[in-house]
Amino acid sequence: MRATALEMHLTHSAVSQQIGVLEEQLGFALFERRGRRIVLNEAGHALLGSVESALAQLDAGVLMAAATAVGSSQRLRLTVMPSFLQRWLLPRMQRWRERHPDIALELHSSQQLMDLQRDGFHAALRQGSGGWPGLSDERLLDSPLVVVASPGTARRLQGGSIAALAHEPLLGDADLWDRWFSEGGLKLRSNPVASFNDAGLMLQAAEQGLGIALGREFMVADALRDGLLVQLSEQRLAPDAAYASYFLVYPPALRDWKPLRALREWLHEEVCMLQKSMPAATPVLTPVEPPKPASTT
């Protein structure tokens, strides 16, 4: 009741009265009162199942009408994770403006999972495994994690083994580092000097020589090209399945809306360009030598 009242900008009692009016009009109860709580009864569940799709169609129609009502001055509202915005999208925005000077992008940076319709967004760039209820999603890219450091740190470590990283200041998540070391043949527990809730900040710290980071390959590609970071090893680490991919997410009703269609096509083109231009790694560190088999003589 409280959540409904907040969403509809009504008082709690006004919502209760409207439910009472609806039940009176129908001639039967939709809810069961259990102390201070109410829950749908069987009739309420049946009615909800029947009208839910119709209400969703109405919402989609309103969303589409609002999106197309701006006429010639088209504006697309996009919510995106800060790290994706900082490390990948912003450096490519000039090409978007050259391609679509008539479509303005209103960018909202947030770590939170926004409700597109409630919060007034046309689309979102999200990280996950897909399948958000009520939304269409298109996978943009999958990207492994690679080890990067500043050029000064790379010069100091040149020619050493990846085992040397165990004694270096590490940035990021300890579990990811433990997995990376394990896949490289080292069984140890890492103790990073700093962790971050935003990958962009972590990579910025690595660029400033504050430590060594495990970063998404696509997020470090520009910094590798520009000489701000150096990839220390060819070894890559697959991210957790729940965060494996990056998606463009949008309401199905907006699929063919011109500004969104333009954004979809442009993003896929940019991802394709990135994959073709990804710089090849020139390893700074050597892999750990596997143990030699015991002699049988």
pLDDT in tens, 220-268: 999 999 999 999 999 999 988 778 899 999 999 899 999 999 999 999 9
pLDDT exceeds cutoff 70 at 290: no
Q: Which tokens sit at 245? A: 């991919």
Q: How far apart are CA 106 and CA 123, in angstroms?
A: 11
Residue 144, domain CATH: 3.40.190.290
133 and 280 inside one domain: yes
Q: How far apart are CA 123 and CA 22, in angstroms?
A: 34
272 and 163 inside one domain: yes
CB 244 within 8 A of CB 238: yes
Beta bridge mates, 89: none
CB 149 within 8 A of CB 213: yes
Average the pLDDT over 204-210 and give the result: 96
Please enumerate, as own/partner, the contacts of 189-192 that have beta carbons within 8 Å and a separation of 24 or more: 190/166
Q: How confident is the model at residue 20 (pLDDT cuts 50, 70, 90)?
A: confident
pLDDT exceeds cutoff 50 at 142: yes
The pLDDT value given to residue 13: 84
Q: How far apart are CA 238 and CA 142, in angstroms?
A: 9
Q: How confident is the model at residue 30 (pLDDT cuts 50, 70, 90)?
A: confident
Q: Domain limits at 62?
A: 2-68
pLDDT exceeds cutoff 70 at 286: yes
Residue 196 belongs to some domain of the structure = yes
Q: Which tokens sit at 263? A: 């954004």
- Share the mean pLDDT of the chain: 87
Residue 272 belongs to some domain of the structure = yes
Query: What's phi and psi for 154, nearest 5 deg?
Result: -65, -40
Cα–Cα distance list, 117 to 111, 112, 122, 144 (Å) = 17, 15, 8, 32
Residue 10, domain CATH: 1.10.10.10
Torsional sign, CA 280, 286, 291, 297: positive
132 and 258 inside one domain: yes
pLDDT exceeds cutoff 90 at 205: yes
Q: Which of 133-147, 236-250, 278-292 has the lowest mean pLDDT?
A: 278-292
Q: How far apart are CA 121 and CA 222, in angstroms?
A: 28
pLDDT exceeds cutoff 70 at 211: yes
CB 153 within 8 A of CB 209: yes
Residue 296 belongs to some domain of the structure = no
Which residues, 6+ apart, have CB-to-CB distance to 198 below 8 Å? 82, 83, 111
pLDDT in tens, 146-160: 999 999 999 999 988
Average the pLDDT over 164-193 and give the result: 93
How many domains would you assign to the chain? 2
Q: What is the pTM of this model?
A: 0.74
The pLDDT value given to residue 72: 42
Higher pLDDT, 98 or 58: 98
163 and 139 inside one domain: yes
Cα–Cα distance list, 34 to 1, 4, 40 (Å) = 13, 18, 11
Q: Which of 43, 68, 93 is the last residue of a domain?
A: 68
Report strand pairing: 245-250 vs 123-128. antiparallel
pLDDT exceeds cutoff 60 at 296: no
Q: How confident is the model at residue 19 (pLDDT cuts 50, 70, 90)?
A: confident
